[in-house]
Chain A
């Protein structure tokens, strides 16, 4: 059963604290993604990872960094969280089939509240 997992599912942090969001997948997908989704809005790509230690900025990377040391695991780090980083964060993964046909599989999301 193909699965993308995210931990934690809910998180409350104070402004200035560090935040670690974790994502795992059991499908041996090469490519992994981090998105954020604000209320009533679509998805915004934060970072994309093509494989271990091969990461690229997405559309809104400022204030975030990522780590991918194993193919099945992708972390999103917020150093000194800000209130405007309150959002729902989704991780996704895909096989690299090429030609743009890669289907992204999403995790359940992490709801982050920064006070």
Chain B
């Protein structure tokens, strides 16, 4: 079945710099992808849902890139600020077979002043 690998597990960047998180997946038929943000001590909040037909997805202060050829999903936080300090998780849908998501192991991002 689908496997998802997320890198790096820990990331520290200075305020104003960019932060880049990547997930690679194995099933070329995967076509829905999710990024979630989890602030310290809090629950998971959906950051963005991405469809396989869209390679570049712009959010507020971040961009999500989908490279289907390389089976890579990336989250790029531009001009990071302290509010971006959180854990970020990617998730990949296996399709409508069982409604489960395959989760990455997470990236703990720290924004330094």
Contact = CB atoms under 8 A, between A and B. Distances in A.
A42 B48 CA distance: 18
B34 interface: yes
A16 to B, nearest CB: 29
B101 A104 contact: yes
Contact of B105 (A42, A103, A104): A42
Interface in B78-101: 89, 93-101
B46 interface: yes
A48 B100 contact: yes
Contacts of A99: 31-32, 95-96
A101 B93 CA distance: 7
A13 interface: no
Contacts of B94: 100
B112 interface: no
Contacts of B45: 106
A45 B89 contact: no
Most buried by B among A40, A43, A92, A98: A43
B60 interface: no
A94 interface: yes
Contacts, number: 62
B99 A103 contact: no
Contact of B96 (A58, A100, A106): A100
Contact of B32 (A58, A92, A101): A101
Interface string B17-39: 00000000000001110101000
Contacts of B101: 104
A92 B31 CA distance: 21
Contact of B103 (A43, A96, A103, A109): A43
Nearest to B97: A100
Interface in A7-62: 31, 40-43, 45, 48, 50, 56, 58
Interface of A: 31, 40-43, 45, 48, 50, 56, 58, 90, 92, 94, 96, 98-109
11 contacts: A41-B105, A42-B106, A48-B98, A48-B100, A56-B98, A58-B100, A92-B44, A99-B96, A100-B96, A104-B101, A108-B43
